[in-house]
């Protein structure tokens, strides 16, 4: 028997072993022996890990978590979900879409208000970028954003869309957010904030896509450009100016639209950052914002960054962006 055939046979035996074990564990859960089943899952996890059977350990913990979720055993399911992440971290598993989709599925099953969910998403995002100081893999952010959108948790969904590359999905979410939670007079502000924040994160393509899709799909916005709302005209001109890169155009634009920009005190802060990134404006000495919102604002403003204008939010912070 060749070495390759031997490996295939070994893999098949391991898979068969996992299936037999899963069958016994499933029977325990179905009988209501949740505690015993949970402890057995943990015992097998550490056994597999000590034997270097990382794929088997991950599969067993993932399926076990879904099983516990199906019986509304949130604590046990969350614990096994964290063990899935532990396998990924310790085995230095490469990021693949299939794994990201599995992590997003576990996230979607967790109690929306549980602290375990916050810890899970923070750790998953950290793993997805190799433990670097970046904010997480864009694909994982996109999957999380869609889950939160379905839960109508629009503010957290928006945060994750901002760190994804899905400008179109973000626009559709914002249309729903505006229609269900906003005032008619604020329809322009929903997309203006998103465009400015995408630009602060140097994601010019998503900024353009979110603007064009939102203004096309929102039922309260007449087809443009030009638009009835001055703020939308400003954003349209700004995106054109970013493509041109001429500082004089950017400066005149900001001056002409000051009445609209005063509607939100953060607009000029965002524009200062955009001026630095796209028009060569030298950075000014700005205050360091404190607290949860401060961490996110400093990320957008480029505080302490070198390459990409982002820094990782604290692991124990809720994921939110206002």
Model confidence over 102-128: pLDDT tens digits?
Answer: 999 999 999 999 999 999 999 999 999
Model confidence over 279-321: pLDDT tens digits?
Answer: 999 987 655 555 445 545 555 666 444 444 333 333 333 323 4
Q: What is the pLDDT of residue 134?
A: 75
Q: What is the pLDDT of residue 287?
A: 58
Nearest partner of 176 among 153, 202, 201, judged by Cα:
153
Residues of the chain with pLDDT under 70: 1-17, 131-133, 285-322
Evaluate whether 21 touches 13 at the Cβ level (below 8 Å). no
Q: What is the CA radius of gyration of the chain?
A: 24
Fold of 167-299: 1.25.40
- The torsion defined by the Cα of 205, 209, 211 and 213, in degrees rounded to 10, comes to 180
How many angstroms separate the CA atoms of 268 and 51, rounded?
57
Sign of CA dihedral 157, 159, 160, 164: positive
Evaluate whether 109 touches 77 at the Cβ level (below 8 Å). yes
Evaluate whether 163 touches 138 at the Cβ level (below 8 Å). yes
Q: What is the pLDDT of residue 21?
A: 82
- The torsion defined by the Cα of 148, 153, 158 and 163, in degrees rounded to 10, comes to -40
How many angstroms separate the CA atoms of 195 and 214, rounded?
11
CATH of domain 19-106: 1.25.40
Model confidence over 196-218: pLDDT tens digits?
Answer: 999 999 999 999 999 999 999 99
**Which DSSP string do the residues of 215-239 spell out, in sequence order?**
HHH-TTS-S-SS-SSHHHHHHHHHH
Other beta carbons within 10 angstroms of residue 299's beta carbon come to: 24
Q: What is the pLDDT of residue 123?
A: 95
Q: What is the pLDDT of residue 307?
A: 44
Q: What is the pLDDT of residue 132?
A: 59
Kindly tell me the burial class for residue 287, based on how many C-beta atoms sit within 10 Å of its own C-beta (0-12, 13-18, 19 or more).
Answer: exposed
What residue spans in the chain does CATH classification 1.25.40.10 cover?
Answer: 167-299
Q: What is the pLDDT of residue 297?
A: 59
pTM of the model: 0.83
Separation in Å, CA 277 to CA 21, 125, 189, 257, 271: 55, 26, 22, 20, 10
Q: What is the pLDDT of residue 17?
A: 64
């Amino acid at each position: 028997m060749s070495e390759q055939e031997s490996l295939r046979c070994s893999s098949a035996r391991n898979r068969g072993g996992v299936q037999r074990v899963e069958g016994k564990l499933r029977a325990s859960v179905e009988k209501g022996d949740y505690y015993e089943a949970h402890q057995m899952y943990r015992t097998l996890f550490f056994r597999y890990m000590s034997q270097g059977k990382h794929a088997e350990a991950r599969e067993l913990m993932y399926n076990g978590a879904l099983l516990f979720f199906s019986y509304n055993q949130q604590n046990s399911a969350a614990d096994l979900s964290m063990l899935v992440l532990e396998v990924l971290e310790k085995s230095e598993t490469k990021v693949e879409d299939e794994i990201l989709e599995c992590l997003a599925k576990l996230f979607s099953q967790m109690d929306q208000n549980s602290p375990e969910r916050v810890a899970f998403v923070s750790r998953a995002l950290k793993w997805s970028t190799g433990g670097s100081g970046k904010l997480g893999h864009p694909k994982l952010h996109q999957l999380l954003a869609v889950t939160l959108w379905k839960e109508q948790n629009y503010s957290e969904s928006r945060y994750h869309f901002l760190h994804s590359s899905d400008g179109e999905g973000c626009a559709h979410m914002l249309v729903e957010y505006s229609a269900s939670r906003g005032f008619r007079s604020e329809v322009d502000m929903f997309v203006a904030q998103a465009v400015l924040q995408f630009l602060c994160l140097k994601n010019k393509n998503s900024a353009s896509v979110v603007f064009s899709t939102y203004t096309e799909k929102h039922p309260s916005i007449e087809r443009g450009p030009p638009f009835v709302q001055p703020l939308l005209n400003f954003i349209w001109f700004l995106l054109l100016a970013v493509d041109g890169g001429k500082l004089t155009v950017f400066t005149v634009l900001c001056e002409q639209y000051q009445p609209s920009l005063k509607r939100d005190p953060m607009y000029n802060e965002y524009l200062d950052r955009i001026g630095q990134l796209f028009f060569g404006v030298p950075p000014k000495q700005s205050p360091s914002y404190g607290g949860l919102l401060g961490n996110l604002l400093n990320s957008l403003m480029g505080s302490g960054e070198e390459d990409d204008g982002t820094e990782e939010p604290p692991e124990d912070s809720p994921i939110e962006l206002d």
